Amino acid sequence: MRERFNLGDLIDRDEGDPDRPAVIDLAGDEPRTISFRALAARAAAVARGLLASGRVRGEAVAILAANRSEFLAAYLGTMQAGLVAVPINHRFPREMTDFVLRDCGARMVFCDAERLAACPADLPAVVFDAPGPAARAHRPFDDFVDAGPFTPVVPADGETAMLLYTSGSTGTPKGVVLSHQSHLWVVATRMAGQDLGRHRFLIAAPLYHMNALALAKLTLAAGATMVLLPQFTPRSYMEAIERYRCSWLTAVPPMIAMMLRETEQVARTDFSSVAYLRMGSAPVSAALLDAIHRVMPQATVVNAYGTTECGPVVFAPHPRGLPQPPLSVGATHPGVSLRLVDGDGRAADQGVLEMKSPARMTGYHRRPDLKPPFTEDGFYVTGDVFRRDADGFHYFVGRSDDMFVCGGENIYPGELEKLLERHPAVAQASVVPVDDEIKGQKPVAFCVRREGLAVSEDELKRFALDHAPAYMHPRAIWFLDRLPLTTTSKIDRQLLRQRAAEATLSSAAREREDSR
């Protein structure tokens, strides 16, 4: 593998057949196949177009669009030119989108026609596809790019390559500042010792999120082919697996859970091409793993972990070759330093994960109001609680800020969710706290039943009482057809907490009325 200096310069023009497929783009009415030669040329043309339009090194350029090959060309070309790429969550409400565009200081934005109306009128826009009713002054992408050779900028040590904004589900979005060197290390580390070029990768998670973006970069650097869906739907995901014989899948667990609920299509879909499924960005339950193995018995399923702030390289196979327990995320990666810290700041076998690696962010963009999440010796404090067993395998317990106290006992929602999902009739569960005058807070749950199976609230409560301490059992359980998701396909706990609080208040009011 040749040495790379610029994160936008991932495609190796001197290795393999340049006309082999880099991207099978499923955005639009008909699939488009883009070769490595064509994608590299388009990224160079973006870089030339940016400089010709007056953009200068270090300026921010936003990308506001659903997944498509032009998104990748704009992302790579922006960084090649020495500018800062800022993929933006296109599911943000208009006000939040405007905040991110202003906060990052974007001097222009690449977008698709559907999101053109969300771009401020005073911000130059380059539109990937033909504009619809929201058209205004803009430049079409094909007119903006400037075809020709381009030598990527060699960035200074620590120079910013991209800003990735957090979802903002718990407040104002934070811009995570990431350098060229940090994610070139991620790409090189993930490629080491693996023959990835033979795989066909399916990417359906949004490219504004680390999960999909990191995989897209890995695919391009490895010379593999990616099948790129504009967005995830269970039907289109399964159709793509079968039609394009995808061998490597990566997803957020709720995406796979949604897919498996489409039982009729699952039964008629050929999954035999799938060799590898990597899930991350949210906890994986034993019930979901069992369901996956029934559908894809030939596939290696990996329960992974990563953060936007420190990248996807955290855990690895055991150094002594021990088999990884199904719910473990692995042992410490040799290129990373990890430690677990308890509530008293001491090293422990269960505690908040702190990590140090070359992928660590520079910091949060323009957020002097936030205490930097770094220790004095340079570890990033994740806020995620893990348990480590005697063999050195790690297990996700829950978010430290999700933990709540019920009658003096600490409850991590993830632990109770795993328990509820052990019931044969429960496909998914999400646990949140509600206020209680006596206990302080108490757990309640939202559950999705497995298709064709029945279970009542009382049955599930008894199941929890039979298999866990009494303080953990959910005091109320509501059944939903599906759990609500955030814009990054994680379960929307904030919305569920709101629904639980409203339902608890309504129940209390009814009880008071009945007692009169």
Residue-range domains of the chain with CATH: 315-399 (2.30.38.10), 404-515 (3.30.300.30)
More confident residue, 477 or 14: 477
Residue 177 CB: number of other CB atoms within 10 A? 21
From the list 134, 148, 276, the residue with the least C-alpha distance to 218 is 276
pLDDT at 169: 43
Predicted local confidence at residue 137, as pLDDT: 63
pLDDT digits (tens, 9 = 90+) for 203-238: 999 999 888 999 999 999 999 999 999 999 999 999
Question: What's the mean pLDDT in 378-404?
Answer: 90
250-267 pLDDT tens trace: 988 888 988 998 999 999
Q: What is the pLDDT of residue 369?
A: 82
The per-residue pLDDT for 351 is 93
**Residue-level pLDDT at 70:** 98
Short-list 253, 305, 231, CA closest to 428: 253
pLDDT of residue 35: 97
Neighbours of 502 (CB within 10 A): 11
Q: How far is residue 287's CA from residue 289's CA, in Å, rounded to a whole number?
A: 5
How confident is residue 242, by pLDDT bands cut at 50, 70 and 90?
very high
Alpha helices in 308-420 (DSSP H): 413-420
Q: Which residues contact 462 (CB under 8 A, 6 or more apart)?
A: none
Q: What is the pLDDT of residue 136?
A: 54
pLDDT, mean of residues 356-370: 91
Instruction: Report which residue type is found at 23.
Output: V
Instruction: Tell how strand 440-449 and strand 477-479 pair up.
Output: parallel
Residue 110 pLDDT > 90: yes
pLDDT at residue 34, as a whole number: 98
Q: Which residue has the higher pLDDT, 29 or 513?
A: 29
The larger pLDDT score, comparing residue 411 to residue 447, is at: 447
Structure tokens given for 4? 């790379």
Strand order in the sheet with 337-341: 337-341, 350-356, 380-388, 394-399
Residue 516: which pLDDT band, with cuts at 50, 70 and 90?
A: low
- Dist. CA 116–CA 118, nearest whole Å: 5
**Are 21 and 228 contacting, i.e. CB atoms less than 8 angstroms apart?**
no
Contact assessment for residue 66 and residue 114, using Cβ atoms and an 8 Å cutoff: yes
Predicted structure pTM score = 0.84
Residue type, 187: V
Using CB atoms within 10 Å of the CB of residue 54, give its burial: 0 to 12 exposed, 13 to 18 middle, 19+ buried. exposed
Q: Is residue 306 a contact partner of residue 313, using CB atoms and an 8 Å limit?
A: yes
Q: Above 80 in pLDDT, residue 283?
A: no
The two beta strands, 426-436 and 440-449, are antiparallel
- How far apart (Å, rounded) are the C-alpha atoms in residues 406 and 417? 16
Radius of gyration from C-alpha coordinates of the chain = 24
- The string of pLDDT tens digits covering residues 16-70 is 789 999 999 999 889 999 999 999 999 999 999 999 999 999 999 999 999 999 9
User: Residue 84 to residues 47, 75, 132, 185: CA-CA distances in angstroms?
Assistant: 12, 9, 28, 18
Count the neighbouring beta carbons within 10 Å of the beta carbon of residue 147. Answer: 11
First-to-final CA distance of the chain: 77
How far apart are alpha carbons 203 and 22 in whole angstroms?
Answer: 13
**pLDDT class of 382 with cuts at 50, 70, 90:** very high
Answer whether 213's CB lies under 8 Å from 87's CB. yes
Cβ within 8 Å of residue 237, ≥6 positions away = 202, 204, 229, 255, 259
Top pLDDT among 91 and 65 is at: 65
pLDDT-based confidence at residue 508 (cuts at 50, 70, 90): low
Q: How far is CA 173 from CA 18, 89, 151, 384, in A?
A: 39, 10, 34, 19
Task: Report which of 182, 218, 156 is spatially closest to residue 356, judged by C-alpha positions.
Answer: 182
Among 296-300, 344-348, 375-379, which stretch is predicted with the lowest mean pLDDT?
Answer: 344-348
Chain centre distance of CA 424: 28
Q: β-strand 363-364 against 175-179: which pairing, if any?
A: antiparallel
What pLDDT score was predicted for residue 511?
61
What's the confidence (pLDDT) of residue 288?
86
For residue 279, give the 3-state DSSP assignment. Answer: strand
Which stretch of 148-152, 171-175, 338-342, 440-444 has the lowest confidence by average pLDDT? 171-175
pLDDT at 5: 95
Structure token digits, residue 162: 């991209």
Q: How many CA atoms lie within 13 A of 127 on its CB side?
A: 19
User: Is the distance from CB of 421 to CB of 283 less than 8 angstroms?
Assistant: no
Mean pLDDT of 453-478: 91
Q: Does residue 146 have a pLDDT over 50?
A: yes
C-alpha–C-alpha distance, residues 480 and 225, integer Å: 38
pLDDT in tens, 292-322: 999 999 999 988 999 999 999 999 999 999 9
Q: Which residues contact 372 (CB under 8 A, 6 or more apart)?
A: 363, 364
Torsion, Cα 320 325 326 329, to 10 degrees, reads -60
Angle between helices 286-295 and 253-260 (to 10 degrees): 50
Q: Which helix (H) or strand (E) holds 115?
A: none
Query: Which of the residue ranges 184-193, 346-355, 485-494, 504-513 would you say has the lowest mean pLDDT?
Result: 504-513
Calpha distance 68→92 (Å, rounded): 18
pLDDT of residue 273: 97
- Report the DSSP pairing between strands 84-87 and 200-203: unpaired
pLDDT score of 170 more than 70: no
